[in-house]
Structure 1
Amino acid sequence: MNIEHTNSVYFIGIGGIGMSALARYFVAKGFNVGGYDKTKTDLTDTLEDLGVSIHFDDDVTHIDNRFLDAETTLVVYTPAIPKSHSELNYFRSNQFKVIKRSELLGEVTRQTFCLAVAGTHGKTTTTSILGHLLNVCNVEVTAFLGGISENYNSNLILNGTEVTVVEADEFDRSFLTLSPDFACITSMDADHLDIYGDASELVKSFEDFSKKIKPNGKLFVKNGLPIKGITYGIEDDSDYSVKNIKIINGSYVFDVKTPNTLLENFKFSLPGRHNLSNALIALAMSVEYGLPHPQLAKGLASYKGVKRRFTYHVKTDNLVYIDDYAHHPEEINAVHQAVREMYPDKKVLAVFQPHLFSRTQDFANEFAESLSQFDTVFLLDIYPARELPIDGVNSEWLLDKIENKNKKLVQKSELIEAIKSENASVVLTIGAGDIGEEVKHIKKGLSLAS
């Protein structure tokens, strides 16, 4: 792909977290940027504030004239866009250059030193830690994040183009468009079976990704995964390992064993062993890149997290409200571990919105097992995203599988009153759908109640 003669980039699905980061990047580079999305959100509002032309009806007549020249306009779309989309078909039938988001990300990173984070869980948090560490260490870095960093209030860290940090997304095999210098694989749990069919095909795609690393590059893998590389783990015999863990004032304090030495006295404030593992791999990649221990320790201590990744919204002696993006059983298990470690004697209410009919069907028993660990469980209706309903797959069906007497279906309109009636000490909202839009209302309702 040659973007030399391009002066305009049009994004179909511009409000997506990955798409909007690329849109911000091209705005900063001086391109005309515009696009379509079906829903107005905080992300699209932010882009419009930057001068991006966005509309919310799939209608070719609404496309700004700046994006109607096939010679100078690049069109980018996400796999979530249906094949019937009229704007997508218009651009294709009129000989525009039309590519997927992952192809554009591959092109943007090709001429840089690229660090890519792959895995079915932990990509966004790890990428944001890694981008922050490089930035604090004054590396000229651009980091494309799959969430909003609390440190930068953005899904893009833009401080030069010598190094890029990206999420290597396994959905739709998108990560095979990348050719990173360093890459890590955090996990390979079965997911996206609507795309892959079975778990063995998912594993094969990660193997294929591992072969995309540039000559003389480095691959880091979580200890126990069936792919060879530099290993990392918590309190084990990995090449990079967390040692001497203590919890002091709600933060982890620990040392890191490297292949050559022991780096002492790191502090990290995100709860949960899964987050500690994410911090470790970000440190390992940074150390191998050549960054110094004192600045890395300073950077990690100042890391604030990613919105909707174990994000505190109420934190008082009597009530804690946390929101998290968890949408896979293993992610729910990780949230549960973190909550129990930080609040071992508290009553915990989990409000879960299942994401996708296919994922709910594929992992119904695993979802039931992970949700049964909480003291009380509320289920919202399944968020369909890109899917049509599957007969017999609904939240009532999932609820029946949960082995917990304190469980019920709740509609969004009843949610705040239902939460208040439980008198739980810790409230969690979890899921990847539009449950995140309810957070501000829940926070307000709980704050008024307390």
Structure 2
Amino acid sequence: MELRNIQRVYLVGIGGIGMSGLARYFNHLGCMVCGYDKTETPLTDALNAEGMDIIFTDDASLVPAEFNEPNQGTLIIFTPAIPQDSAILNYFKANGFELYKRSQVLGIISKGLFTVAVAGTHGKTTTSSLITHILTEAGKDCTAFLGGIATNYNSNVLYGGSNLVVVEADEYDRSFLTLYPDIAVITSMDADHLDIYGDHGQLTDSFRMFASQIKAGGKLIAKQGLPLNHECATYTIGAEAADAIAHNIRIQNGSFYFDFQNGDTAINGIEMGIPGLHNIENAVAAIQAALYLNVTGNMIKAALASFKGVKRRFEYIVRTEKHVYIDDYAHHPEELKACIASVKKLYPDVKLTTVFQPHLFTRTRDFADGFAEALDMTDELLMLDIYPARELPIDGVDAHTILNRMQLADKHLLSKQEVIKRVQDLQPQLLLTVGAGDIDQLVEPLKQAFGYVE
């Protein structure tokens, strides 16, 4: 499949964050873009408003006639999250279409371009968005495919005119092995997706394969301590030794500041436009990538101060003297620990109420002890039932699998409506919602429960 030949694109699962970015990209190129998703969301509403035709019924008869038969001008993209019994998915299979995953299409787009790819079990969306923002602010006209909505651009895709592309490289289903980057960043390699990989060793091997695919003369940037067995520039925060470090981390007037140092460059007094120790760590990786691309320290410093973050990544929903409400995508124990620790550091003397929705039965089963340990860091927990996503229930695995392992006394299993009612009645001063399922549907109702209505 050659990019220049593509005239029509159909995306099965168009409403996903990665898939929607591809939809926007091909729509921008002038292609006919259509798709299916099971649920109408604000993101699919936005795609419709941008001129894309989307259906929400899994009925192959609703697929436009332009997609009746395979040809060089037609591209069909699917997400592995779509059930294998999907009528539309099987329509394309039965009629001889070649189906491409999102990652394969990113490989087609990035072929021949200077590619910066960011991988990791967590941290990759913010890090890739930080790199994109620094390059954009420095006048380097990059294209970018992000795993979240970058607040500065209100989009998950940027359209550049240069040969430079930034992509978020997804390890799920080994998808990132379709990429051959010039610069690669690996933020983390914690055990995850064990329903795909089987064990942590297989996941580690996959990351090592990704690292081995960097082009000759390319650069690898990796968090200090990752077992990659590849030459790389390491990064970290605090006192630990690495090739690039953030040190002298402090909070001034509610904002995080730090100093950056690698073997050649020192950038002092960097203000982060977003909070969180984990985001300073992400910023160190982004700075190192930007330095490889000849961005100056002053440009980097200015860009980090103006970075507004990514939707659902430590996003302030309410921030007043009376209430603080933060929403985050964290859905792995290590992400939860980092998020809760950052909230506690910012608001050390305020009771933290956390609403958490576990994501996937297998992840809950595999990491129940880690989730319990992370959630014990909060002061009050309002737990929702597991969001199943692509999975069927597993006997004996539910929200109690985590709750029963916790030491925290102030914990409650509630429905979404019960969470809204509790917040409305108790008006917690500090609220955090976390999870990767449909917990985002609670954001506006909880905001209204505090009395903040736009």
Q: Residue 146 of structure 2: SS of its match in structure 1?
A: strand
Give the letter for the 2:189 counterpart.
Answer: M
Say whether residues 1:115 and 2:116 are aligned partners.
yes
Residue 161 (structure 1) shift: 4.1
Say whether residues 1:377 and 2:381 are aligned partners.
yes
Moved over 4 A (4+): none
Residue 68 (structure 1) shift: 2.5
User: What is the aligned partner in structure 2 of residue 106 from structure 1?
Assistant: 107
Say whether residues 1:255 and 2:259 are aligned partners.
yes
Give the letter for the 2:85 counterpart.
Answer: S
Report the TM-score when normalising by structure 2.
Answer: 0.96
User: What is the aligned partner in structure 1 of residue 236 from structure 2?
Assistant: 233
1:82-124 Cα distance to aligned partner (Å, 9 max, x none): 2222222221222223111110011101121100001111011
Contact 1:252/1:268 (<8 A) preserved: yes
Residue 67 (structure 1) shift: 2.5
Say whether residues 1:353 and 2:357 are aligned partners.
yes
Give the letter for the 1:87 counterpart.
Answer: I
Aligned pairs, how many?
449
Instruction: Give the whole-Å Cα distance in 1 for the aligned partners of 2:404 and 2:241.
Output: 42
Residue 322 (structure 1) shift: 0.7
1:239-272 Cα distance to aligned partner (Å, 9 max, x none): 1111222221122222211221312221103222
Instruction: Give the whole-Å Cα distance in 1 for the aligned partners of 2:430 and 2:176.
Output: 37
Instruction: Give the whole-Å Cα distance in 1 for the aligned partners of 2:20 and 2:216.
Output: 31
Instruction: Give the whole-Å Cα distance in 2 for the aligned partners of 1:152 and 1:314.
Output: 21
Instruction: Give the whole-Å Cα distance in 1 for the aligned partners of 2:162 and 2:173.
Output: 27
Instruction: Give the whole-Å Cα distance in 2 for the aligned partners of 1:134 and 1:158.
Output: 13
Residue 423 (structure 1) shift: 4.4
Q: Residue 447 of structure 1: SS of its match in structure 2?
A: coil
User: What is the aligned partner in structure 2 of residue 447 from structure 1?
Assistant: 451
Q: Of the candidates 403, 407, 412, which is equivalent to residue 403 of structure 1?
A: 407
Give the letter for the 1:285 counterpart.
Answer: A
Say whether residues 1:154 and 2:158 are aligned partners.
no
Say whether residues 1:244 and 2:251 are aligned partners.
no
Contact 1:124/1:145 (<8 A) preserved: yes
Contact 2:3/2:109 (<8 A) preserved: no
Matches within 5 A, 1:49-448: 49-71=49-71, 72-227=73-228, 228=230, 229-235=232-238, 236-447=240-451
Residue 375 (structure 1) shift: 0.7
Contact 1:361/1:393 (<8 A) preserved: yes
Instruction: Give the whole-Å Cα distance in 2 for the aligned partners of 1:396 and 1:161.
Output: 51
Instruction: Give the whole-Å Cα distance in 1 for the aligned partners of 2:206 and 2:253.
Output: 41
Give the letter for the 1:131 counterpart.
Answer: T
Give the letter for the 2:309 counterpart.
Answer: G
Q: Residue 213 of structure 2: SS of its match in structure 1?
A: coil
* Segment of structure 1 superposing worse, 208-217 or 421-430: 421-430
Residue 358 (structure 1) shift: 0.5
Give the letter for the 2:411 counterpart.
Answer: K
Instruction: Give the whole-Å Cα distance in 1 for the aligned partners of 2:299 and 2:82.
Output: 42
Instruction: Give the whole-Å Cα distance in 1 for the aligned partners of 2:191 and 2:249.
Output: 30
- Long gaps (5+) in structure 1: none
Contact 1:53/1:64 (<8 A) preserved: no
Instruction: Give the whole-Å Cα distance in 1 for the aligned partners of 2:440 and 2:332.
Output: 16
Q: Residue 10 of structure 2: SS of its match in structure 1?
A: strand
- The Cα RMSD (Å) is 1.3
Contact 2:423/2:449 (<8 A) preserved: no
Q: Residue 451 of structure 2: SS of its match in structure 1?
A: helix
Instruction: Give the whole-Å Cα distance in 2 for the aligned partners of 1:215 and 1:27.
Output: 33
Contact 2:365/2:401 (<8 A) preserved: no
